[in-house]
């Protein structure tokens, strides 16, 4: 059973009347940790082997549990069945369906290189979601792709939107004049969603995987992506997005931008601004500004919540909190968003502890135990080993959200919701259960926790980003237009709380 | 065909996707009207690393 099937199982379980808490998954160490955290551990589960499927739930009665299991059996049947034409190998698939032109690959990282090379040798462009591929292997597959003139998006590529189709974790976007090449899936999705919201859109978004701009990989896919968009007549403007590139690779990119015939907007976060500007590209300091600058080109103005409004929300949010409530606790699905939130907040409230901190001294000793102001990336291996990514399965981070309610020092919980086609149809609804559990605990202590969130997605996504935002708003969550805005609000709340402490 | 035109050909063709891995990704594409075929991938030689290396040396898997 793949981890995505366990996702559906958990959703079905939690939807059953009389089931208060539940977890399903292959009995990995991580699954056992989460089950223990949820208080659902039994001696049988302790003994379960990694290949065993465990389903643990707190049910009102045995009858309720049995009924839930019957519903799960139906899901299991659904996952066993298939409606696709199915093959045992890529070769046999291509031999029977010669018009196949792209391959979506999500196999364990250790096999990704061989499978991708196989697909490339069959003439298929590749979107490779598999992660944990050694850099040398990544270079090997990308060099083969380059030699064959095929796109190799990934490994670790969560976002690619080709010919209007959203792959893996991409949002569904309108088509429009912008082409995006990005080494940050979350970043691509963010900017594309801003374009979509303003009635524009994308020709193609080419995700390269986050390691493409390392010295070892050398930006092979990034540079091919720029070529592809420059040669594509429908693409009028090119947007480049990445976290900090290797300096030598950055030099190559700058040279390439200099020679590019189309206007380029560059959001290379952490790179030297003056150096990037020498390329002739429009500089964007962060993802929000990248969307703003792109929209400026087509004479559209994107507006965010004003500082005054955020201040007003912060003041409202802190009313009724207990004296000891003073910290932010962020639980993120997106790595880039986790980074962005820490950078935004540290300017106001100082260093943020994390399992992926901005500075090594801020590393959490235990990712499951928050200290002071803490933000965790729940997509990291300690949370996802043997399980789906939290952007696919909103259930993964529920225990992490809920446990912050146990700490009397939690003042604000900061979240991101990232929509994608294979995800649960109502991630907000699922997450609200954990939010409510956390906030109820604070209420019981006579206080109140503020919850701040942003939703990344579009109204074309199956979940409809606007409906998801509305649902969160109705549950009392402060929903900001972007992740950066949400982080700003959370920092304002913490600052107010600490101001009160000093009085 | 030149390298550049390989990619432009993709941009100008209806997508036909070979999905290798969880079916949910293929289903999400199908919902967007992309033609999808599934490869039920399993590790070669049942995951036996030594056998895989040997097979790889004999011509790849």
H or E element: which one contains A284? Answer: none
- Listed in sequence order, the residues at least 6 apart from A36 whose beta carbon sits closer than 8 Å to its beta carbon are none
Interface test with chain B among A152, A422, A460, by most B beta carbons within 10 Å: A422
Q: What is the pLDDT of residue A19?
A: 81
A51 touches chain B (CB under 8 A): no
Cβ separation of A421 and B28 shorter than 8 Å?
yes
Residue with tokens 């000891």: A324
Distances (CA, A) of A308 to A75, A320, A478, B34: 48, 21, 15, 46
Cβ separation of A150 and B1 shorter than 8 Å?
no
Asked whether the beta carbons of A429 and A417 are under 8 A apart, the reply is: no
Cα angle A143, A144, A146 (rounded to 5 degrees) comes to 65
- Which range marks the domain in which residue B16 is found? 3-57
Mapping DSSP to helix (H, G, I), strand (E, B) and coil, where does residue A454 land? strand
Interface test with chain B among A51, A76, A102, by most B beta carbons within 10 Å: A102
pTM to 2 decimals?
0.85
- Listed in sequence order, the residues at least 6 apart from A86 whose beta carbon sits closer than 8 Å to its beta carbon are B37, B38, B39, B40
A420 touches chain B (CB under 8 A): yes
- Rounded to the nearest 5°, which phi and psi values hold at A262? -115, 155
User: CA-to-CA distance for A224 and A217, rounded, in angstroms?
Assistant: 13
Query: How far does A7 lie from chain B, in Å, by closest CA?
Result: 11
Contacts of B60 in chain A (CB under 8 A): 114, 117-118
> Could you tell me the domains of chain A?
3-80 (no CATH), 157-297 (3.40.50.261), 307-502 (3.40.50.261)
Interface test with chain B among A9, A84, A120, A157, by most B beta carbons within 10 Å: A84
User: CA-to-CA distance for A200 and A178, rounded, in angstroms?
Assistant: 8
With CA atoms as reference, report the closest residue to A221 among A205, A236, A202, A232: A205
For A:171-230, CB contacts with B below 8 A are 172, 203-204, 224, 227-228
Contacts of B34 in chain A (CB under 8 A): 165
Residue with tokens 């292997």: A137
Cβ separation of B6 and A150 shorter than 8 Å?
yes
User: CA-to-CA distance for A80 and A16, rounded, in angstroms?
Assistant: 22
User: In total, how many domains does chain B have?
Assistant: 1
Secondary structure in 3-state letters for chain B: CCHHHHHHHHHCCCCEEEEECCHHHHHHHHHCCCEEEEECCCCHHHHCHHHHHHHHHCCCC
Whole-complex ipTM: 0.86
Query: How far does B49 lie from chain A, in Å, by closest CA?
Result: 11
Reading chain A (503 residues) residue by residue, the pLDDT tens digits are 445 555 666 666 766 778 877 777 767 676 787 788 778 888 889 888 766 778 888 888 888 888 888 877 766 555 555 578 999 999 999 999 999 999 999 998 889 999 999 999 999 999 999 988 999 999 999 999 999 999 999 999 889 999 999 999 999 999 999 999 999 999 999 999 999 999 999 999 999 999 999 999 999 999 999 999 999 999 999 999 998 899 999 999 999 999 999 999 999 998 999 999 999 999 999 999 999 999 999 999 999 999 999 999 999 999 999 999 999 999 999 888 999 999 999 999 999 999 999 999 999 999 999 999 999 999 887 887 666 778 888 888 999 999 999 999 999 999 999 999 888 889 999 999 999 999 999 999 999 999 999 999 999 999 999 999 999 999 999 999 999 999 999 999 999 999 854 43
By C-alpha distance, the chain A residue nearest B55 is A114
Cβ separation of A3 and B22 shorter than 8 Å?
yes
């Amino acid at each position: 059973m793949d981890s995505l099937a366990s996702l559906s199982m958990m959703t079905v379980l939690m939807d059953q009347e009389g089931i208060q808490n539940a977890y399903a998954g292959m009995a990995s160490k991580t699954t056992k940790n989460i089950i223990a955290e949820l208080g659902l551990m039994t001696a049988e589960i302790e003994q379960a082997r990694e290949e065993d499927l465990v389903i643990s739930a707190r049910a009102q009665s045995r009858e309720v549990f049995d009924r839930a299991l019957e519903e799960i059996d139906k899901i299991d049947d659904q996952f066993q069945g298939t409606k696709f034409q199915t093959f045992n190998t890529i070769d046999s698939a291509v031999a029977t369906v010669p018009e196949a032109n792209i391959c979506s690959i999500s196999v364990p990282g250790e096999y990704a290189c061989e499978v991708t090379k196989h697909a490339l040798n069959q003439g298929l462009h590749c979107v490779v979601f598999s992660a944990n591929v050694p850099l040398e292997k990544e270079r090997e597959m990308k060099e083969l792709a380059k030699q064959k003139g095929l796109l190799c998006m990934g490994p670790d590529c969560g976002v690619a939107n080709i010919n209007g189709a959203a792959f893996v974790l991409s949002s569904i976007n309108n088509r429009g004049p912008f082409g995006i090449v990005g080494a940050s899936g979350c970043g691509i999705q963010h900017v594309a969603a801003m374009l979509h919201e303003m009635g524009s859109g994308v020709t193609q978004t080419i995700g390269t995987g986050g390691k493409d701009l390392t010295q070892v990989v050398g930006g092979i896919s990034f540079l091919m992506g720029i070529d592809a968009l420059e040669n594509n007549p429908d693409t009028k403007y090119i947007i480049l997005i990445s976290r900090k590139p290797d300096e030598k690779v950055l030099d190559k990119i700058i040279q390439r931008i200099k020679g590019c015939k189309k206007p380029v907007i560059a959001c290379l976060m952490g790179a030297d601004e003056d150096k990037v500007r020498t390329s002739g590209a429009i500089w964007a300091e962060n993802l929000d500004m990248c969307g703003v600058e792109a929209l400026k080109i087509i004479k559209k103005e994107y507006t965010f919540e004003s500082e005054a409004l955020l201040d007003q929300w912060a003041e409202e949010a802190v009313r009724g909190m207990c004296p000891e409530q003073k910290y932010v606790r962020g639980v993120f699905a997106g790595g880039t968003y986790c980074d962005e939130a820490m950078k935004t907040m540290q300017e106001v409230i100082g260093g943020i502890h994390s399992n992926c901190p901005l500075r090594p001294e801020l590393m959490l000793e235990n990712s499951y135990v928050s200290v002071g102001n803490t933000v965790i990336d729940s997509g990291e291996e300690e949370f996802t080993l043997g399980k789906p990514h939290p952007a696919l399965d909103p259930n993964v981070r529920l225990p992490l959200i809920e446990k912050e309610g146990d700490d009397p020092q939690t003042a604000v919980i900061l979240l991101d919701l990232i929509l994608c086609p294979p995800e649960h149809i109502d991630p907000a609804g699922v997450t609200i259960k954990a939010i409510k559990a956390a906030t109820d605990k604070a209420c019981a202590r006579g206080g109140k926790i503020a919850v701040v969130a942003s939703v990344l997605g579009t109204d074309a996504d199956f979940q409809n980003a606007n409906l998801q935002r509305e649902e969160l708003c109705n549950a009392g969550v402060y929903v900001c237009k972007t992740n950066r805005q949400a982080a700003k609000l959370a920092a304002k709340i913490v600052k107010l709380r600490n101001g009160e402490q000093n009085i | 065909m030149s390298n550049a035109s390989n990619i432009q050909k993709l941009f100008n063709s209806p997508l036909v996707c070979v999905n290798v891995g969880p079916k949910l990704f293929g289903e999400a594409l199908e919902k967007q009207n992309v033609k999808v075929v599934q490869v039920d991938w399993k590790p070669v030689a049942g995951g036996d690393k030594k056998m895989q290396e040997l097979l790889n040396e004999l011509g790849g898997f």
